[in-house]
Chain A
Amino acid sequence: MMTCRELTELLLEFVAGELSQEQIQQIKDHLDDCPPCVAILQTYRLTVQLTRQLPCHALPPPCEQRLRAALAEQWKQQLSGNA
């Protein structure tokens, strides 16, 4: 019988669908009798699901202003260097 640690070590491959049928069955058998491992699996999946929804935040305005100025300066130098 697979231990809780052994099951947890296989979670990444399990959620990615990379395990053999035999390994999947061993995990399912363990989960049938182990609520803590079910909890780890569910929250492991949820963690990934929530993280994947993180948005791309807008630049803070002062940062945007400084970056634009730096880009403009670089562009000016490039133009004068190539003139």
Chain B
Amino acid sequence: MLGVARSLGDGFPRTWHPRIVTDMDRQGTHIEQPGAANPAQAGPPPTIEEVFRDHAPRIYNLALRMLGNEADAEDVTQEVLLQLVRKLDTFRGESAFPTWLHRITVNAALAYRRKRASREQHHVHDPLDTLFEEGKHAAPVRNWWIQPDKAAVDKETQRLIEQAIAGLPEIYRDVYVLADVEGLANSEIADMLGLSVPAVKSRLHRARLLMRSALAPHFEEVPA
């Protein structure tokens, strides 16, 4: 019997066992070692319910934003959750968990996309080429804003942002979601997507410009 079964119903994990690294490594990417983990101080693995409650929504949200489709996001979420359950006995905490969770979710979403052969083949225009002609603004620039009392994003604003994200070309969307929604560092994103840091920054910058343009028509003009 695995340790996982004995530990069901116990407390929330406090550390993360390094053994998980071998499985991540098969993706051929650099793996961060959970340096803060100390097996001597390790807590028990989480329960199935804890895994579901604490992680399923995060996995689903990331997959949905990357894939733009609820059914696909559900398939990826299921795959990732099953991976988590298979490895429950290796769970000893959360020190490296966010990185690991992001990595397996991103890998699963990218693999799913490849399987579906949905990667956009057409040329993606550089938004900088659209914005400028001979170094100058090609069209008037709308200076939109959101009133300070709406600083906490309301449901309609959330919908507009989600819609704009879904409209990004995939090469920009992945980086944008990981950087500006998930808050990952450029170096982490580079590792996950197999890109250089400058490439991540370039894509992120273009994604932000596209997002800015997509949101502009939906918000008030800055008063003169």
A interface list, Cβ under 8 A from B: 3-6, 8-9, 11-13, 35-40, 42-44, 46-48, 50-60, 63-64, 66-68, 70-72, 74-75, 78-79, 82-83
Contacts and interface: CB of A to CB of B under 8 A. Distances in A.
A56 B57 contact: yes
A44 B80 CA distance: 33
Q: Is the interface of A mostly helix, strand, loop or mixed?
A: helix
Interface of B: 1-2, 4-5, 48, 51-52, 56-58, 60-61, 70, 74, 77-78, 81-82, 85-86, 128, 131-132, 135-137, 140-146, 152-153, 157-158, 161-162, 165, 176, 180-181, 183, 201, 204-205, 208-209, 211-212, 215-216, 222
Nearest to B2: A82
Contact of B143 (A43, A52, A53, A67): A43
A4 B208 contact: no
Contacts of B215: 43, 47, 50
Contact of B60 (A5, A50, A59, A78): A59
Contacts of A3: 132, 135-136
B123 to A, nearest CB: 20
Contacts of B70: 60, 63
B88 to A, nearest CB: 8
B128 A9 contact: yes
B129 to A, nearest CB: 9
Given A44-B212, A68-B52, A8 B131 contact: yes
A68 B60 CA distance: 13
Nearest to A55: B158
19 contacts: A6-B135, A8-B128, A12-B204, A12-B205, A12-B208, A13-B201, A40-B141, A43-B216, A44-B212, A46-B144, A47-B212, A50-B153, A52-B183, A66-B74, A70-B78, A71-B81, A71-B85, A75-B48, A78-B2
A71 B52 contact: yes
A11 B209 CA distance: 10
A54 B158 contact: yes
Contacts of B216: 43
Contact of B145 (A42, A52, A54): A42
Nearest to A7: B135
Contact of B132 (A4, A60, A66): A4
B116 to A, nearest CB: 19
A44 B210 CA distance: 10
A82 B52 contact: no
Contact of B135 (A5, A47, A56, A67): A5
A73 to B, nearest CB: 9
Given A8-B209, A55-B158, A83-B1, A48 B180 contact: yes
